[in-house]
Amino acid sequence: MNSMKINPEVQQALLNNKPVVALESTIISHGMPYPKNVETALRVEQVLRDHDVVPATIGIIDGEPIVGMTPEEIELFGKTKGIGKASRRDLPVIYAKKLWAATTVASTMIIAAQAGIEVFVTGGIGGVHRGAQETMDISADLQELAKTNVTVICAGAKAILDLPLTLEYLETMGVPVLGFQTKELPAFYTRHSGLKVDYEIENYQEAAKIILEKRKNSLLGGILITNPIPEKYAMDDNIINNAIDKALRMADEQGIKGKDTTPFLLKTIVELTGGDSLESNIQLVLNNALVGAEIAKEVCKQK
C-alpha cells in the first residue's frame, strides 16, 4: 500500500478508540475562494474539537495521502492555485507522479477507510447528473458508497443533480440512505426535496447502532446519513431553483462537462444568489460536523 502520513494526534485517537471524523479537501481547493476556504475548513475542524472529536482533514501532498492535515498544510492548500481533484481513478497517477491533489468524497472515503476512520463529514455528495440518460455522467461517489466501509454525513446530494435518479442508483447499489430526524431527503441548500429516505434515524445512539450492525455482519459498503440544513440558513426554494436552472443552461452553452461541471455550477450559483448560497453551504457543513461528531462518539462508546 502507498505510504500514508497519519497525524500523530489522529493516530493516537484511533489506537485508543477515541472518536475521529474525516474531512475532505476539495472544499478547500475547489469549493470556495481564498481565504474563505481556509477559514471554513478550520471552523469545521473547530466544531469537531468543541465536541471532543479529533478532526482528520485528508489531502494529498507530493503523492502522499495526509490524514489529519495541519493548519499550515490547510493554509497552503487554500492558497495554492491549480491543485487537481482526485477521485478513485486519479489516485494511482497522483501517487506515481508525486502530485498535490484535493480529495473528493470518493477518494476521501478510500483513504479514511485505509486509515481506519468510520465517520466522514462533507457538505453534499455527488450523484447522477441531470441528463445522465444521454451523458452517463454519474459521480464516482455513488460507486464508492457501494463498496467502501465509511459512514458519510451530508446534507443530501448536491442540488444541481438529478435527485430522484441519485436515490434510485443508491438503492440499486444497496446503500442505506438514512435521514437524521427527517423522513425526506434534504436537497442541500433546502430542507425539502419531496423524496423519501429509506429510514429515519431518531438520535445519535440509533445511528451508531446501525453502523456497528452493518460492520459486524460484514455488509460491505458505506452508509449515507442525510442531515437537513438548519431552518434559518435554508434558502428559498424558488430562488435557489431558478439559480440552478440558469447555471445549468450556462454550463450547457459554454460546453462545460465532466469534472469541471460541479465547480462551475457551484461558483455560478454563488454569483447568481449574491453569495447567499455560499453562506448556506458553510452553515450546512458546520451543522453536519456537529451531527457527525456526536455519531462518531457514540460509535466509540458502543464498540
> According to the model, what pLDDT value does residue 147 have?
97
CA end-to-end distance (rounded Å), the chain: 27
Provide the residue-wise pLDDT of the chain in tens; the chain has 303 residues. Answer: 678 999 999 999 999 999 999 999 998 988 788 999 999 999 999 999 999 999 999 999 999 999 999 999 999 999 999 999 999 999 999 999 999 999 999 999 999 999 999 999 999 998 898 877 777 888 899 999 999 999 999 999 887 899 999 999 999 999 999 999 999 999 999 999 999 999 999 999 999 999 999 999 999 999 999 999 999 999 998 999 899 899 989 998 999 887 788 778 888 988 999 888 889 999 999 999 999 999 999 999 999
> According to the model, what pLDDT value does residue 260 have?
80
Q: Which CATH number fits domain 5-302: 1.20.58.390, 1.10.1840.10, 3.40.50.300, 3.40.1790.10?
A: 3.40.1790.10
| Rounded-to-integer distance, Cα 76 and Cα 29, Å | 10
24 is an active site residue: yes
Predicted confidence (pLDDT) per residue in 131-179, tens digit: 777 778 888 999 999 999 999 999 998 878 999 999 999 999 999 999 9
Question: Model-level pTM?
Answer: 0.94
Annotated domain spans of the chain: 5-302
The active-site residue out of 45, 73, 75, 158 is: 158
Cis, bond preceding 35 (omega within 30 deg of 0): yes
Predicted confidence (pLDDT) per residue in 34-45, tens digit: 999 999 999 999
